[in-house]
Structure 1
Amino acid sequence: MEQQKLPNSTLILVFGILSIVTCCCYGLIGIILGIIAVVLAKKATQLYIENPELYTGIQNVKTGKILAIIGIALSVIYLLIVVWAITAFGWDTLQNQELLQERIQEMMGQ
């Protein structure tokens, strides 16, 4: 019987990579892509476990899942930093570079 590639194995890998690359887009895009990759990887892994002799490409699925988890973690960290900056400085301060520098100097005690 001829082996076939696991469904979505390349897509999982691409979404895992993109979740890391897009983690700096306020964290939201990276979280979404990472979650999609993890869900697809879970389905592909279950399919592979049922019939391992029928499928190839499990390494792409494993790598994509690891990258997606890293992307989710980085995106959550970045999102938390953005939320902290907005609450600490305010949205108007973040829009004005001079005012932001003044607030940072105030926080540093200068």
Structure 2
Amino acid sequence: MEKRELPNSTLILVFGILSIIGCCCYGFAGVIFGIIALVMSNRAIEIYNADPELYTGYQNVKTGRILAIIGLVLSALSLISTIVAIFTLGGLDGIQQMQEEILREYGG
């Protein structure tokens, strides 16, 4: 019997990588890609566990799942720090005022 590739195994790996990269976008993109990768990996693991002899690509699923967890944690930390920064600086108006002060101070 010929082995088949697990459904979406490469896509899970790509989404895991994108979840780590997405933590640099204030955390929003990383959280989205991380959650999608985790949901897809859970489904792929269920399929693999039902009949492991039929499928290849399980290593991609495991790696993508680990990367998604790491990316989700980093993105959550980035998102939380962004929210805290906005509230401690007095909202978006406070951030804009701080930027204007910096521009005035340094001659911009």
Q: Contact 1:27–1:75 (CA<8 Å) still a contact in 2?
A: yes
Q: Secondary structure, in 3 states, of the residue corresponding to 1:86? A: helix
Residue aligning to 1:97: 99
Q: Contact 1:93–1:99 (CA<8 Å) still a contact in 2?
A: no
Residue aligning to 1:108: none
- CA positional deviation for 1:47: 0.3
Cα-to-partner distance string for 1:50-84 (whole Å, 9 max, x where unaligned): 01000000000000000000010001000110011
Identity %: 59
Q: How many residues align?
A: 101
Residue aligning to 1:69: 69
- CA positional deviation for 1:98: 5.2
Gaps of 5+ in 2: 103-108
Alignment RMSD (CA, Å): 1.5
- Opposite residue 99 of structure 2, the aligned amino acid is Q
Residue 3 (structure 1) aligned with residue 3 (structure 2) = yes
- Opposite residue 15 of structure 2, the aligned amino acid is F
Name the stretch that deviates more: 9-18 or 86-95.
86-95
4+ residue segments displaced more than 4 Å: none
Name the stretch that deviates more: 61-70 or 19-28.
19-28
Gaps of 5+ in 1: 101-110
* Residues 9-88 of structure 1 aligned to structure 2 (within 5 Å): 9-88=9-88
Taking the aligned partners of 2:22 and 2:78, their CA distance within structure 1 comes to: 11
Taking the aligned partners of 1:42 and 1:16, their CA distance within structure 2 comes to: 13
